[in-house]
């Protein structure tokens, strides 16, 4: 294993839209920029698979700008430890472990899909909406497959249209939100004609799918492989045969790296000020990790963070007005697609909550804190480190996750050993 | 897109398009079960983006690889757990 240390004026964690725009703006100001990304290639989740899998002039523009900006990019790299005071992180790839000493750090770690447990949700071929889409983008053919899409949010429509385009049949899109909220949301879209057109185009592309509101998946059936899903809408419940159930209840910011670097966290995500600076002087945060807001907002926040990290807050100010508008849109999204209370009664006593440690609901129902849940049941102590079950217990029981300890991702022992050696040699 | 990659999944050869992830290749081979959970349940990919660790399997002798984040390479030996 090779070990080494790198330096950069600006280190960007994550190469999704926010990380790409941050890196480009930092380079534009003449700074050296290094980007570390966990995925096989840049684009994050929304532009996963690169330019060929993402339609639209926005992604084309940013792939080109990012690709030619002169930033160093290491794909398949994850940060496992860091120290804000010494402005240093430790990262590993499949082959390698290394430290990076940075002047400024920009966190652009994105978001993950939120899941809710229900009987059978651990059955193979029950996947996240973004998860199934990511698999299709990375080579899974779905032609002729029946895919039920269930959960909440406008991305269900985009994903369903994507599945259809790739030859799948999407019989039902089950949206948990009710008509009143959706109608109010649609009315607000009047002020954003572009978004309204997008919505209308998606609905047209999905004219053969039923879009059911106040409807959700109540159970997934099948032994070793999904066979059917039980949907509920009010008093009515019925089974529907399908190959895949794509399910997702919105998104949660990836705040773990922010926690590790002692950045203050608020209700939305990693706290940041006008120029995207966090509570740590040399650390900025941009995009979904500061709060769920969509791709337009992520790009703007990335640009602002890139300029500000390069010491050009004057240039950052040029993006403030657009950012405010994007924030209003994301606030209306949150209101429209807030999760309804009934979903809290979805898990049965034996439904698994923590998929890593197989902890079932009846063992967790009475827990008063995350700490108690961990100590008594090992909930959240498996390899995902509570990334899936944490948001679930927050929704079901109101439990708040606690501080995080390194490594923030399961790491190889060699990497940890290499890291401590590097620490020693640097300190000498 | 014409370029292809040959690899082995549980001892069976499979040819996929270049750029295909290992997780997609395993599903493509008709196998939805990637691993057994601690209580023996059958599990397959959930998040597709490297967060949940449900798609982990053995690649070239290395355990616990997140197959959704790794692109297929020529001659790769993949084993579900």
What is d(CA A136, CA A71) in angstroms, rounded to the nearest whole number?
29
- In a shared domain, residues A153 and A196: yes
Domain that holds residue A366: 347-397
pLDDT of residue A1: 45
Residue A336: pLDDT above 50?
Answer: yes
- In a shared domain, residues A225 and A179: yes
What value does the mean pLDDT take over residues A180-208?
Answer: 85
What is d(CA A276, CA A288) in angstroms, rounded to the nearest whole number?
12
Instruction: Please list every residue in chain A whose beta carbon sits closer than 8 Å to the beta carbon of residue B36.
Output: none
CA distance from start to end of chain A? 22
Is B48's CB within 8 Å of A357's CB?
A: no
What is d(CA A73, CA A61) in angstroms, rounded to the nearest whole number?
18
A248, A272, A289 — which closes off a domain? A248
Q: Which of residues 49-78 of B touch A (CB under 8 A)?
A: 49-54, 56, 64, 68-71
Cis peptide before A407 (omega within 30 of 0): yes
- In a shared domain, residues A290 and A355: no
Tell me if A342 is assigned to some domain: no
User: Could you name the CATH architecture of B4-79?
Assistant: Roll (3.10)
Tell me if A389 is assigned to some domain: yes
- In a shared domain, residues A23 and A93: yes
Instruction: Please list every residue in chain A whose beta carbon sits closer than 8 Å to the beta carbon of residue B38.
Output: 356-358, 382
Is A388's CB within 8 Å of B51's CB?
A: yes
Tell me if A200 is assigned to some domain: yes
Least CA distance to B49: which residue of chain A?
A131
Question: Which SS3 state, helix, strand or coil, does residue A79 take?
Answer: strand
- In a shared domain, residues A135 and A47: no
Tell me if A410 is assigned to some domain: no
Please say whether the beta carbons of A81 and A115 come within 8 A. Answer: no
Is B25's CB within 8 Å of A139's CB?
A: yes
A203, A220, A248 — which closes off a domain? A248
Q: Exposed, middle or buried: residue B51 (CB in 10 Å: 0-12, 13-18, 19+)?
A: buried
Confidence of residue B70 (pLDDT cuts 50, 70, 90): very high
- In a shared domain, residues A129 and A243: yes
Q: Exposed, middle or buried: residue A207 (CB in 10 Å: 0-12, 13-18, 19+)?
A: exposed
Report the DSSP pairing between strands B56-59 and B77-79: antiparallel
pLDDT digit string (tens) for A55-82?
678 999 999 999 999 999 999 999 999 9
A204, A222, A248 — which closes off a domain? A248
- In a shared domain, residues A146 and A105: no
What is d(CA A185, CA B4) in angstroms, rounded to the nearest whole number?
46
A224 touches chain B (CB under 8 A): yes
- In a shared domain, residues A213 and A259: no
pLDDT of residue A330: 87
Burial pattern A385-402, b for ≥16 Cβ within 10 A else e, equals bbbbbbbbbebbbebebe
Is B48's CB within 8 Å of A134's CB?
A: yes
Q: Please give the distance of CA B32 from its chain centroid, rounded to a whole number.
A: 10
Domains of chain B, residue spans: 4-79
Confidence of residue A413 (pLDDT cuts 50, 70, 90): confident
pLDDT digit string (tens) for A276-299?
999 999 999 999 999 999 999 999
Task: Count structural domains, chain A.
Answer: 3
List phi, psi (to 5°) of A154.
-70, -20
Confidence of residue A323 (pLDDT cuts 50, 70, 90): very high
Please say whether the beta carbons of A19 and A35 come within 8 A. Answer: yes
Least CA distance to A246: which residue of chain B?
B46
Confidence of residue B5 (pLDDT cuts 50, 70, 90): very high
- The interface predicted TM-score of the complex, written ipTM, equals 0.97
List phi, psi (to 5°) of A381.
-105, 10
What is d(CA B71, CA B23) in angstroms, rounded to the nearest whole number?
9
pTM flag (> 0.90): yes
Is B33's CB within 8 Å of A124's CB?
A: yes
- In a shared domain, residues A122 and A229: yes
pLDDT of residue B2: 55
- In a shared domain, residues A231 and A166: yes
- In a shared domain, residues A89 and A156: no
Least CA distance to B26: which residue of chain A?
A140
B31 touches chain A (CB under 8 A): no
Is B49's CB within 8 Å of A112's CB?
A: yes
- In a shared domain, residues A201 and A308: no
Q: Where residue A192 sits, what CATH number does that domain have? A: 3.50.50.60
Tell me if A369 is assigned to some domain: yes
Count of C-beta atoms within a 10 Å radius of residue A340: 13
């Amino acid at each position: 294993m090779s070990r080494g240390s790198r330096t950069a004026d600006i280190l960007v964690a994550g190469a999704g839209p926010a990380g790409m725009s941050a890196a480009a703006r930092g380079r534009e100001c003449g700074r050296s920029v290094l980007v570390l990304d966990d995925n096989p290639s840049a684009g994050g989740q929304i532009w996963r698979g690169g330019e060929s899998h993402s339609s639209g002039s926005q992604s084309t523009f940013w792939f080109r700008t990012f690709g030619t900006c002169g930033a160093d990019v290491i794909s398949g790299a994850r940060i496992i430890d860091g120290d804000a005071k010494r402005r240093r992180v430790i990262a590993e790839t499949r082959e390698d472990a290394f430290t990076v000493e940075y002047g400024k750090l920009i966190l652009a770690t994105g978001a993950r899909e939120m899941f809710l447990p229900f009987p059978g949700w651990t059955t193979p071929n029950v996947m996240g909406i973004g998860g199934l889409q990511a698999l299709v983008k990375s080579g899974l053919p779905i032609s002729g497959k029946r895919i039920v899409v269930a959960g909440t949010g406008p991305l269900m429509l985009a994903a369903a249209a994507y599945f259809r385009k790739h030859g799948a049949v999407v019989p039902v899109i089950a949206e948990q939100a009710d008509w009143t909220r959706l109608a109010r949301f649609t009315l607000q879209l009047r002020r954003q004609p572009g978004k309204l057109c997008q919505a209308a185009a998606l609905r047209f592309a999905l004219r053969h799918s039923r879009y059911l509101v106040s409807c959700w998946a109540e159970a997934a059936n099948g032994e070793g492989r999904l066979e059917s899903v039980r949907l509920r809408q009010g008093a009515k419940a019925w089974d529907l045969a399908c190959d895949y159930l794509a399910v997702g209840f919105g998104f949660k910011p990836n705040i773990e790296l922010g926690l590790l670097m002692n950045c203050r966290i608020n209700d939305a995500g990693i706290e940041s000020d006008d120029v995207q600076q966090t509570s740590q002087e040399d650390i900025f945060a941009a995009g979904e990790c500061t709060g769920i807001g969509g791709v337009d907002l992520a790009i703007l926040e990335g640009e602002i963070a890139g300029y500000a990290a390069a010491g050009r807050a004057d240039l950052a100010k040029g993006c403030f007005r657009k950012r405010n508008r994007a924030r209003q849109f994301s606030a209306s999204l949150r209101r429209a697609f807030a999760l309804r209370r009934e979903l809290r009664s979805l898990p049965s006593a034996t439904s698994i909550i923590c998929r890593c440690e197989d902890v079932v609901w009846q063992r967790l129902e009475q827990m008063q804190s995350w700490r108690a849940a961990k100590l008594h049941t090992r909930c959240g102590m498996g390899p995902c480190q509570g990334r899936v079950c944490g948001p679930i217990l927050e929704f079901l029981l109101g439990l708040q996750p606690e501080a995080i300890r390194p490594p923030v991702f399961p790491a190889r022992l060699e990497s940890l050993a290499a890291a401590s050696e590097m620490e020693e040699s640097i300190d000498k | 897109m014409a370029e292809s990659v040959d690899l082995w999944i549980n001892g069976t050869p499979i040819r996929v398009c270049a750029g295909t992830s290992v997780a997609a290749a395993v599903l493509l081979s008709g196998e939805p079960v990637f691993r057994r959970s601690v209580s023996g349940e059958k599990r397959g990919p959930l998040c597709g983006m490297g967060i949940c660790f449900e798609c982990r399997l053995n690649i070239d002798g290395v355990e616990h690889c997140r197959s959704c984040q790794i692109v297929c390479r020529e001659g790769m030996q993949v084993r579900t757990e």
